[in-house]
Amino acid sequence: MNKPENSPLTQATALTVENLSFSYARKKALDQVSFSVNASQCTILLGPNGAGKSTLFSLITRLYDTRQGSITLCGFDVKQRTGQALSRLGVVFQQTTLDMDLTVMQNLRYHTALHGIGGKIAKKRIQEELERLNMYERRGERIRQLNGGHRRRVEIARALLHKPAVLLLDEPTVGLDIPSRHSIVEHVHALAAEHGLAILWATHLVDEIYPQDQLVVLHQGSIKQTGSLEQVLRKTNTRSIHEAFQQLTQDDRE
């Protein structure tokens, strides 16, 4: 994989969220959320179900409109310069968005066409991404023939075809078996470490965190802690991320 376009292997800030708040009627889903993600960095957005992770992703992708605060992708405000911002973004949603009756290749061809990627380049990129995920030999199979882990691999491949600078993953391993989970976690971390992507991975599973990751702990719409794994453990005076996570979200467990 070549270095992502618009995202050199540097520590440049690729995603910035500042003072972001959002409510559903009178229920506040996010309250003054601020953090950033750098190129070549995997940031884990860690929070229990209902913490506001999916709402945050819906705001970043413009499924919801930003009412308070700002979101910037590669220097472009997602509200003011939506097209330029979102062209730098790849997304894997929690619920699959693949067409179950199309083949792997047809799904990916459709995505490249939406991004205006020509035939030869599209074919080359599709082959590269599928081979990297050990899925090229299955390119002619319909999506409904694949298991959950293989479908997720196709979605990750699709999210990378237009060479984004930022990759969002919303609980991508939920419902998968352990080998599939581990394979996807390893692949995504390699994308950040080796290929310069800025990655924001939303999860409630602490075993998906690597020691080098940055953490953003979100609970009831507010950020409870940020920093490296070592910094979060030190700030919470805990010995494991599982213990720290319990402490930071303890009122959910009472």
pLDDT tens digits, the chain, 254 residues: what are they? Answer: 444 444 333 458 999 999 999 999 888 999 999 999 999 999 999 999 999 999 999 999 999 987 799 999 999 999 999 999 999 999 999 888 999 999 999 999 999 999 999 899 999 999 999 999 999 999 999 999 999 999 999 999 999 999 999 999 999 998 898 999 999 999 999 999 988 999 999 999 999 999 999 999 999 999 999 999 999 999 999 999 999 999 999 864 44
CATH number at residue 213: 3.40.50.300
- What residues make up the domain containing 222? 1-88+164-254
171 touches 155 (CB < 8 A): no
Query: Which helix (H) or strand (E) covers residue 151, if one does?
Result: helix 148-160
Q: Environment class of residue 98 by beta-carbon count within 10 Å: exposed (0-12), middle (13-18) or buried (19+)?
A: buried
* Predicted pLDDT of residue 183: 92
Q: Are residues 74 and 181 in the same domain?
A: yes
- Each residue of 78-122: pLDDT tens digit? 999 999 999 999 999 988 899 999 999 999 999 999 999 989 999
Q: Are residues 217 and 137 in the same domain?
A: no
**Among 107, 128, 163, where does a domain finish?**
163
Q: For the sheet containing 27-38, what is the strand order?
A: 27-38, 13-24, 68-73, 76-77
**Among 118, 136, 163, where does a domain finish?**
163
* Predicted pLDDT of residue 252: 47
* Predicted pLDDT of residue 11: 59
Q: Are residues 144 and 175 in the same domain?
A: no
Which residues contact residue 186 at a Cβ distance below 8 angstroms, ignoring those fewer than 6 apart? none
Question: Which amino acid type is present at position 15?
Answer: L
Structure letter (DSSP) for residue 65: -
- Each residue of 123-132: pLDDT tens digit? 999 999 999 9
Q: Are residues 133 and 172 in the same domain?
A: no
Q: Are residues 49 and 172 in the same domain?
A: yes
Q: Are residues 82 and 168 in the same domain?
A: yes
Domains contained in the chain, number: 2
> Is 20 strand, coil or helix?
strand
Q: Are residues 214 and 114 in the same domain?
A: no
Cα–Cα nearest to 133, from 148, 115, 152, 147: 152
